[in-house]
A and B are shown apart, each in its own frame.
Chain A
């Protein structure tokens, strides 16, 4: 990917990031989304995050097969515990990294 293609990709990413932030603020102010749509959108972040994490924890990449023995899954348990208990983003990221690193050394 050359510089021009990279910048074009960034501009496209920027546009699809900016529009959902800007359009409701400018256009929808005072109005309400249809309730079913608002409720659907409300569930989307949890669904996306879970869908993103699942293969990292439960599957090998090449070839794609299920597994329950990855370090990623083991490290996820204290990370999840820390997230629930502390509700600190920075703290959880650090705990996750340290657990993953430590488990990698032990294995």
Chain B
């Protein structure tokens, strides 16, 4: 048991190292947006999702409606359906209670590390759970620390306003795993700009991503059909 926990911790450090500056910048942004330390802590504990929390902080800052915020967060996290499905094959006969607890810590990063380790073999589920919670603890501590530090940081200092955009650009690059992903992203950007100009509020995110994913899927299927001789 102690050994599996140690294994989990030693595999978690790159994630923790990566989360810390991002958590700090999120905390700083949240402080600028008027969030109190306890509100940041509540958000990091209840939500624990980097991208979604950045979006939520930005949307809270422009007084977006709760429905718009929740539906955007939902859309952003749809990708976890796939990750959760992919991980499920590594938990045969494991209790639902364990899975319910494990699922709380499923992020892009913990998914990537845990799936790799499970595939290599010899990765205990308690190591995986430890990794998730080490990442989670780092996230909560760094976001709340950011709120306190935010009071010391003048507006615009060291380009912290760009942390959100920088993170999304990098996560987008991680997603571009082939031509069809790049084409979908380009369609999404074009749809997003059109929807941004013509539709009110934050509807552009949902409208553009659904249109682009559908267009990408249709394109992929038509191209594939052409490649296969009838």
A residues contacting B by CB (< 8 A) are 1, 5-14, 16-18, 20-26, 28-30, 32-33, 36, 38-59, 64-66, 72, 75-76, 79-80, 82-84, 87-90, 92-102, 104
Task: Tell me which of B103, B159, B171 contacts A100 (CB under 8 A).
Answer: B159
From residue A95, how far is it (CB to closest CB) to chain B in Å? 7
Alpha-carbon distance between A51 and B76 when the two chains are bound, in angstroms? 11
Q: Are A90 and B209 neighbours in the complex by a CB distance under 8 Å?
A: no
1/0 contact string of B167-209 vs chain A (CB within 8 Å): 1111111111000111011111111110011000000110011
A6-B39, A13-B52, A53-B189 as given contacts; A45 in contact with B79, CB under 8 Å: yes
Task: Tell me which of B60, B85, B169, B204 contacts A76 (CB under 8 A).
Answer: B169
Q: Are A43 and B193 neighbours in the complex by a CB distance under 8 Å?
A: no
For B185, the chain A residues whose CB sits under 8 A away are 46-47, 49-50
Q: Are B42 and A101 neighbours in the complex by a CB distance under 8 Å?
A: no
For A88, the chain B residues whose CB sits under 8 A away are 18, 170
A10-B42, A29-B91, A39-B220 as given contacts; A53 in contact with B196, CB under 8 Å: no
Nearest-CB residue, chain B, relative to A64: B197
For B56, the chain A residues whose CB sits under 8 A away are 13
Interface residues of B in 75-102 (CB under 8 A from A): 75-85, 87-89, 91-92, 96, 99-100, 102
A21-B84, A50-B186, A50-B189 as given contacts; A41 in contact with B79, CB under 8 Å: yes
Nearest-CB residue, chain A, relative to B88: A29
Nearest-CB residue, chain A, relative to B82: A41
Q: Give the total of B residues in contact with A, Cβ under 8 Å.
A: 95
Interface residues of B in 3-55 (CB under 8 A from A): 17-18, 20-22, 25, 39, 42-43, 46-49, 51-52, 55
A–B pairs, 25, beta carbons within 8 Å:
A11-B46, A14-B47, A21-B84, A21-B103, A22-B103, A28-B85, A38-B82, A41-B78, A43-B184, A43-B212, A47-B209, A47-B210, A50-B172, A50-B184, A50-B192, A52-B205, A64-B196, A75-B159, A83-B170, A88-B18, A96-B159, A96-B163, A99-B162, A101-B156, A104-B159
From B91, B156, B166, B184, name the one whose CB has the most chain A CB atoms within 10 angstroms: B166
Q: Are B193 and A75 neighbours in the complex by a CB distance under 8 Å?
A: no
Q: Are B103 and A33 neighbours in the complex by a CB distance under 8 Å?
A: no
Extra contacts besides A24-B88, A57-B165, A99-B159 (10): CB < 8 Å: A16-B73, A29-B91, A39-B221, A40-B213, A49-B172, A50-B172, A53-B172, A55-B193, A56-B165, A89-B167
From residue B138, how far is it (CB to closest CB) to chain A in Å? 12
Nearest-CB residue, chain A, relative to B207: A51
From residue A91, how far is it (CB to closest CB) to chain B in Å? 8
For B100, the chain A residues whose CB sits under 8 A away are 22, 26
Q: Are A58 and B193 neighbours in the complex by a CB distance under 8 Å?
A: yes
| B126 CB-CB contact with A under 8 Å | no
Q: Are B173 and A83 neighbours in the complex by a CB distance under 8 Å?
A: yes
For B103, the chain A residues whose CB sits under 8 A away are 18, 21-22, 25-26
